[in-house]
Amino acid sequence: MKRYYYFGEYLKEIFGKKVYKVNVDAGFTCPNRDGTLGTTGCIYCNNNSFRPSSCTPTKPLKEQILDGIEYLKQRYKAKAFLVYFQPYTNTYAPTEKLEKLYKEALQHPEVVGLAIGTRPDCVDEEKLELLKKLSKSHMIIIEYGMQSMYDKSLKYIKRGHDYATFLKAVYDTYEKGILVGAHIIVGLPTETKEESLQMAYEINRHPIKFLKIHQLQVIKDTVLAQIYEKNPFPVFEYEEYLDFLVDFIERLHPDIVIQRLFATSPEEILIAPKWKHSKQEILNDINRRFEERNARQGSKCSLSRDRALCY
């Protein structure tokens, strides 16, 4: 029996086959970098920490997609693809430009949809109407950086918006019939472990279908790295995180699809925590911890999504 509801399983249920992500960089920036809100980005942000080497804006979008599809076909014999607009803020442009880029990505006959990573303060009625139109023929997922439900934490990371802004974007998107995802960071020094666990209860209360969970990582060439160097704060130790993750997912409603369980950054730019485990080893240990504790997603949450009565 599956211990948690993972993204690959969900996609197979929808399309009847495995669907693979093709990561692309369409050359967007961010209002927290271009001077609109700030110039340094969020204090933890170094896009090289999550940008695949194959995902580079020096290549035209179509070429990135074709290269990604060819690689996945050769390695996995893949036949269906979801184009993931990943680095920076992928709705941060005029709607006309977004329409051109999104439609170009959907032209390939084996692309079944788009996943679009963005900020909740970078959508509006016009952009959501565009996504609604595209969602009539393809799967469209918009992934918002929630990061935290606590305004004290959003202020600390210099996010540039409050939690109410995130909730407004979630409901505006949901009401258009567009699938909604959220990204969270756990282990921020502004929050206790219990406060981080409370975010599972909060997510249950809202129409969020997909979730990415990232443990806080301190990355070179970030403001957070400067803070950590001057005054080191606790970060998740490996075994501690395994238990935290199980605790969190037990509180998460079972119909929420988990897209990511942990963050991974290149070793050469990672300052802390250094776990010294491969992605597969971490995943194996997570699954083992679930089995050891006989834990399952939603085991500490009622089945009522409307009220999400958790204990």
pLDDT digits 0-9 by tens, 246-286: 999 999 999 999 999 999 999 999 999 999 999 999 999 99
- Domains of the chain plus CATH, in order, are 7-292 (3.20.20.70)
Q: How far apart are alpha carbons 295 and 260 in whole angstroms?
A: 18
Pick the residue with more confidence: 307 or 87? 87
Percent above pLDDT 70 for the chain: 93
Give the DSSP H or E segment for 96.
helix 95-106
Q: Reply yes or no on whether the pLDDT at 241 is more than 70.
A: yes
Q: Reply yes or no on whether the pLDDT at 83 is more than 60.
A: yes
pLDDT tens column, 158-209: 999 999 999 999 999 999 999 999 999 999 999 999 999 999 999 999 999 9
pLDDT tens column, 1-59: 689 999 999 999 999 999 999 999 999 999 999 999 999 899 999 865 555 555 556 79
Residue 90's pLDDT band, with cuts at 50, 70 and 90, is very high
